[in-house]
Every structure is written in C-alpha cells, then in structure tokens.
Chains A and B, each alone.
Chain A
Amino acid sequence: MKTIEIIRFELLYRSKKPVNYIYFIILFVIALLFSKLGVKGITDVSVQVKENAPLIIHQLTALLNLPLLLLTSAIMGVAVIRDYDCHIEQLMFTNPITKKQYLTGRFIGSFITMLLLSLAIPLGAIAGELLSSKPAAEFLPFSAGNYFVSYLIIVLPNTFFLSALYFAGGAISKKAVVIYTQGIVLLIFVSIMDEGVIETAKNLEVATLFDFYTLQLFNLQTKYWSAGEINSQLVPITGALVINRLIYIGLGTLALVLTFWRFKTTTQAHSAKKANR
C-alpha cells in the first residue's frame, strides 16, 4: 500500500517537471529524423535490402538507444538524491515506511518514467518511416511490430540495466557527482566493448554474449544471409540472445540488491555551525 503511494507520488512529481516532456520530444524528433533519413546507408548491406527490413530496424533501434541512455542518469540518479538535495530526508525517514518500501517505490516510479520516455524511440522511428520521402519500392509493407520487437530486445533490458546502476549509485553515494562520473564511465565502457573488444575478440561467439547493443551478436548470426533473407526474416531470437539479455538484466538486479543492502535511512547530523547559518 505504501509502496504504491510512493510510486504514485513519484509519477506525480515527474509529471510536474516540464523537462521530462522536453526529453520525450527531443528523443522523438531524433528517432524520427534518423528513421526518415534511413540507416541502411551506414550499414554494409546489399542495395536490395529494404529500408524497413527487420534487421535494419534493429540497427536503427540500437543507434537510437544511445541518446536515451544519456538521459537515464538524469532520470534515475535523482530518484533518491532528490530528497537529500531538497533536504527533506529527515521528514521522509521519520515516516513509518521501511527501506524496502521506499527504495522499491522510488525505483519503480522512476523506471516507469524511463519506460514512458523510451517509447519515443519506436514511436519516433515509426513516424519517420511513415513520413519517409523515399520511393515506396524501397520498403516492405509497414509493420509496427518490428519496431517493438527491437524495442523489447534492445531498449528495455538496456534501460533496466543502466537504470538500476544509476539508481544504485545515487542511493548509495547520495552524491550527484558520483552519478555523472558513473554515467560517463559506463557508457564509454559498453561502447568500447561493442566497437573494439567484441569485434576483435578471438572467440566471437562468447564475446557477443556481452554485446550491450546486440549488434555484433546479430551480425554474427546473419553474416551469410542473402538480401532476400534479410528482407523476409524476423530478427532471430536465439539462445545466445537470451543469455546476452539475461546477463544485463541479472547485473541490473544485482545492483538493486546491493542498493537494498547498503542504503541507510539514518542520516548525518548537520553541524551546529551550518544549521545556524
């Protein structure tokens, strides 16, 4: 009951911040523009591959995941730090709520916010396809489902993973600077993993299990596909993909468990000098 109240208030709080609507619009416009221009040109596929083939949509979604991930630290980091920044933590923690209720409510409320924002990616990309000025012959029949399949494969687990990590960083350290540093380090790390380490790894099959954007994983699996296959096949859901996604969901869950374990509702006393200022 109290957890639901904390979720409700979190969503109410977020809904009153104009910046969240601006984030959505920006993401939507980026997705729309990239989709309208088409990403087929930057991938090395045959000219016969259609602009909206499932694999191309998947690559577009992976690309669009990046600006969303930049937002994750801004949204998730403040979920707990806000109380300390506003200096309301003493009023909050003298309420009869448990640490579990507080953290669960704040995480779920903030994560729902993230999910609502992330919908700008498939919606913007769909709008881009529909508004495309390229000839109709370049396209397969429109299918919204393909956008949402890639959304579920890439955006959802990745957002959960980074959301959990930023939430943990904010809640445990209670310092905004930790989240910003963490944000930069994490994004550089997963991107290098994708671009450098995995691409050049000796054992590609193992390496792609850790592929954050799942692009290398799909490259490996579709390497010998013909243009016809790319146009007709859905992105393959394989055991390797499932393991890959479970690794990131698992790491995110681990970060949350750590948060529940380390977070303290007792607070430091403020020195008399500071308080009397």
Chain B
Amino acid sequence: MKLKIQNLSKTYPNGTKALNGVNLNISTGMFGLLGPNGAGKSSLMRTMVTLQEADNGTAVLGDIDMLNDKDELRKHIGYLPQEFGLYPKVNAEMLLNHFAALKGIHDKQERRRTVDELLEKVNLSEHRRKNLGGYSGGMKQRFGIAQALIGNPRLVIVDEPTAGLDPQERNRFHNILSQLGRETIVILSTHIVEDVKELCTQMAILNKGRILIQGNPKDLVKNMQGQVWEKVVSPDELEAIRQSHQVISDRFYDGQTLVRIAAASDPGNGFEPGQAGLEDVYFSHVNH
C-alpha cells in the first residue's frame, strides 16, 4: 500500500498558509510526522481524512483519489484526532457498534465480533458497559484507537495520541500502534521526537506548512554523524556563538549551558565532537 501526496496546499481565510506545497511518499509501516505546534500537522491530517478541503495538490492512497473520492476513502481510513469527545451517557459497546455499522459492517454477528475483538485489543473489555462519560483520559484514548481500527483500515492516522497519557498507558499505546504498522500505513503526528525514534521506520519533519526533510530516522541520524559539536559555555558566550555558528540546541547543564552546533568540520574554539541523535536532526531543521 502506498500513499502519495503531491504539492498539497491550503491557505486559511485569515491568510495563514497551513500547508505550502507538501510532498510525501509513504509505504506500509509506521510513519512519524514531526513538527512544532502550529507547523501544519493537524491541517495535513485533517485534509487526509476528508475533514478539510485542500486548495491545490493531489493525494492518492493505493488507487483511491483521497481529495475527490471521499466516500470510498472513508471506508478505508481510521482517524484518531488530537482532541475529541464522546457521548457521555452511552457505553463503549453501544458507540463502537454504532460506528461499526456506519463503517459498513451490516451483518449483526460480524459487527458483534468486530466490537468484541477491538475492545479486547485495546483492553477495554471489562469496561464495555461503562458509560463513556466515566472514562479516564487513557481509556478514552484507547476507545479512540478502537474506533479508528474498525473494518481493518488501509491507513490509520493518529494525531498527538500520547498527550496526557501516563508512561504506562503511553507504552501500551505504542505497542498497539507498532503491531498495526506491520500491515497498514500508520501516520503518527507528534512533536515528541522520542516517540518517532522508538516507533517509526519512516519520518518527515514539517514546519510552517512545508516538509523540510523525509527519510528513515536511522539514516537521517547517520547522515548527521560527525557534524554535531558541543561545548559548555556561559550565557554571554552563547550569544556570540549564536552569531557565528548554526546552533542546534542549548540546554542548562550544571549551572551553565551546553550548546550543540552543526558544522561540517571541526569548528575549533574548544568544541568537542558530539553523538548525533534524532533530536539534532529535528532541531537543526526546525531552528534553521
């Protein structure tokens, strides 16, 4: 299964360029879409799941024209939005059953089986009769993933799925996603570099509506190896370094500041070679 996006653009009525000529090639597996808040990640996701119209460009999933054949596309996608709610007075089983019917599973027996399997998968079987209004953040998120998996979608899109989850829930969530990535395209949108490093075999960095780089996370890190240098400096020195070098990141370190810069060769001046990581790839592109 392939997802191909070409030259996708969207400008909001207030003039904000949310998407500015986005190109992406995605194949089966986990795909990480990294970018700071406001980079256009949600706009891109929402366009891919038919909730928003694009101004220009094309998007094709297998043989489905995503922007024009919305009905067909909706049969094959699952979407977990960044922020969503549920009917408080309805239980998980009822709502999941409803969504399954809307997805097109008309046979009652089959629908019941689907609902059972999904609740089992996201570990909500014992809470199936509980009203959704009483669900915790983590349970709600797990219900969200269950509804996104109805009908074995070809493309699953999850937008900032682990925000607000405790570490254990986050782990469990990641396991479900990884498993899913073996057979389907899973797009994970996040601003947490760690998540992409742990989970994804493909990734892209999006900022200000543009794709800055796309590739395999390991390759991207490898390409940066030998180009990262670091040094502990005082705040005054940091300002000077900002003027003369391409600073990747700086953080407090034992009362002083550890600054990391990108340079093709040894910048001298007391800089030591640093071990490149995905964060360096991310910051060197986003801050550039």
Contact = CB atoms under 8 A, between A and B. Distances in A.
Interface stretch (A5-13, A169-177, A210-218): A5-13
A87 B84 contact: yes
Interface stretch (B69-77, B225-233, B241-249, B269-277): B69-77
A275 B99 contact: no
Nearest to A97: B102
A266 B49 CA distance: 10
A266 B102 contact: no
Q: Which 7 A-B pairs have the closest CB atoms?
A: A87-B85, A96-B74, A95-B102, A5-B101, A272-B37, A90-B81, A86-B85
B112 to A, nearest CB: 14
A87 B78 CA distance: 17
B74 A5 contact: no
Given A5-B101, A269-B52, A88 B85 contact: yes
Contacts of B84: 87-88, 90-91
Contact of B103 (A17, A90, A95, A276): A95
A98 interface: yes
A103 to B, nearest CB: 14
Interface string A57-100: 00000000000000000000000001000111011111111100
Contacts of A16: 89-90
B71 A93 contact: no
A1 interface: yes
A262 interface: no
Nearest to A18: B89
A105 B46 CA distance: 25
Contacts of B192: none
A9 B274 CA distance: 59
Interface footprint category on A:
20 to 34
29 contacts: A1-B106, A2-B102, A5-B98, A5-B101, A13-B90, A17-B89, A90-B46, A90-B79, A90-B81, A91-B144, A93-B50, A94-B50, A95-B74, A95-B99, A95-B102, A96-B75, A96-B102, A97-B74, A265-B51, A266-B52, A266-B53, A267-B46, A267-B52, A269-B18, A270-B82, A270-B83, A272-B37, A275-B83, A276-B163
Interface in A184-212: none
Interface of A (DSSP majority class): loop
B184 to A, nearest CB: 16
Contact of B71 (A90, A98, A275): A98
A182 to B, nearest CB: 24
Interface residues of B, number: 40
B74 A94 contact: yes
A88 B94 contact: no
A78 to B, nearest CB: 12
Contacts of B53: 266
B83 A93 contact: no
A5 B90 contact: no
A267 B144 CA distance: 18
Given A88-B84, A96-B102, A272 B38 contact: yes
Contact of B104 (A92, A96, A274): A96
B58 interface: no
Contact of A91 (B46, B94, B99, B101): B99
Given A5-B98, A88-B86, A95-B99, A266 B75 contact: no
A13 B95 CA distance: 10
A234 B98 CA distance: 47
A95 to B, nearest CB: 4
B15 to A, nearest CB: 15
A93 B102 CA distance: 10
Interface string A1-41: 11001100100110011000000000000000000000000
B88 interface: yes
A276 B160 CA distance: 10
A98 B102 CA distance: 10
A2 B98 CA distance: 10
A91 B149 CA distance: 12
B87 interface: yes
Contact of A94 (B37, B49, B86, B90): B49
B43 interface: yes
A266 B84 CA distance: 15
